[in-house]
Structure formats: structure tokens, C-alpha cells
Amino acid sequence: MLRTISNNLAFFRQFRQRFETTGAIAPSSRFLAKSMIRFLANRGPAPVRVLEIGPGTGPVTQRIIPLLANGDRFDIVELNESFVEILKSRFQQDAAWKTAAPFSEIHQLPIQEFQRDEKYDFVISGLPLNNFPADLVDSIADTYFQLLKPDGVLSYFEYMYVRPIRKVVTRGDEKIRITRIDDTMAAHCAEHRLARDNIVLNIPPAWVQHLAGSPDRAMA
């Protein structure tokens, strides 16, 4: 309980200081976290490679770790140094997290700069895409699929109706920015969507999008 309160306070401080990269006023609810890992939860016995992007204080990470085993690979990409320190502390102090520490690694850098020779079975992202420049969203979306195996699954969330509402109420450059982001992500969903979960019990309510990998990109 004390850890949860501390993490929530840390998250809120980062929200106030860095809204553009934190994007929410509270960590993901357990309902959203459960949805984010539902394809990973149905994994087979073979080793898997998992990439989590923008975990914040780790509410989704907490759900991922019990699903992992020796032989798996778990990489975490988080840009915010305060969140990185919280995550490192949990791998050092939390008994459940310690079991995954030998095959886990935290990387502090932008996801578009993260490179690996081997692709991932599962990419799970908590990045607040609606807060970013449209060109950056294009780059991040491309990176998702570059890192994902052809038969892998990308899971990410977005807050319900944020882009449709912003497209109506905004003008000028902001309207252009949010429309471009909406067009980019809608195109990926139209081509690759496996499922969409409606998570009402979250602050704010959210959609979790699950997309399939791209064979064409993998063969390029």
C-alpha cells in the first residue's frame, strides 16, 4: 500500500512537470493493465521476447513479470529518469521482480533510438501519443512495427474520444497535429487490429488497441 501511494505521488509530480511525456494524472488501473497483457497471458511454453515502452512507475510491468520465465527476454524503455529509478529499485527490492531481473534490462532513451537485432513477440506501450508532434508519432509507430515480429502483438492504449473531441474543438496548427495523429493510428488499426478493449474503470477511461505484426516490414 505504501509503495502504491509513493508511486502515485511520483507519477503525479511527473505529470505536473512533464505533461507532454507523462500524459496522464494517475498510473494505469489494474483493469487497463490486465487488458494490456492479455495476449501475453496466453503465450505458449516457448521462450518469448517482451518489450515494454513507457512503463512509468510500473503498473503494467507488475502484470508482465509473473508471466515471464527463465529463457525469456524482457526489455523496458523509459525516458523519464525519475521513473527509471523507481523501476530499478523495484527490481532490486521487490521479491517478484527480482526473479525476472536476470533476463530484464531497463534502457533510458527515446524508443525511436532503441535498436535490437532480434524482434519481439510482444510490444506493450504506454506512450501518450496524443501529446507528441505528428512527425514523432509517425516515427514511433514505425518503430513499433520494426521491433515487432511478423506474428507478434503490439498492445497500446489511448484515452477514449480524446482525438475526436480535439479535432472538433481545436483550430489551426493543433487541429492539423491531432488530425495527422488520428489518421496515422487509424490507418495502422485498420490494417493490423486484432482487438480493441474498452476500459471504463480507468482515469480517464481508455481503449486498449491490440495490433498484429507486419510481414511486409519484416521481410524488407
Q: Which domains does the chain have, with CATH numbers?
A: 2-219 (3.40.50.150)
List per-residue pLDDT tens for the chain, 220 residues long.
545 545 444 444 443 344 444 445 567 899 999 999 999 999 999 999 999 999 999 999 999 999 999 999 999 999 999 999 999 999 999 999 999 999 999 999 999 999 999 999 999 999 999 999 999 999 999 999 999 999 999 999 999 998 999 999 999 999 999 999 999 999 999 999 999 999 999 989 999 999 999 875 543 3
3-state secondary structure of 24: coil
> Do 75 and 125 contact (CB within 8 A), yes or no?
no
From residue 151, alpha-carbon distances to 155, 205, 215 in Å are 13, 29, 8
> Do 24 and 15 contact (CB within 8 A), yes or no?
yes
Q: Model pTM greater than 0.75?
A: yes
From residue 130, alpha-carbon distances to 16, 37, 84, 111 in Å are 17, 22, 22, 16
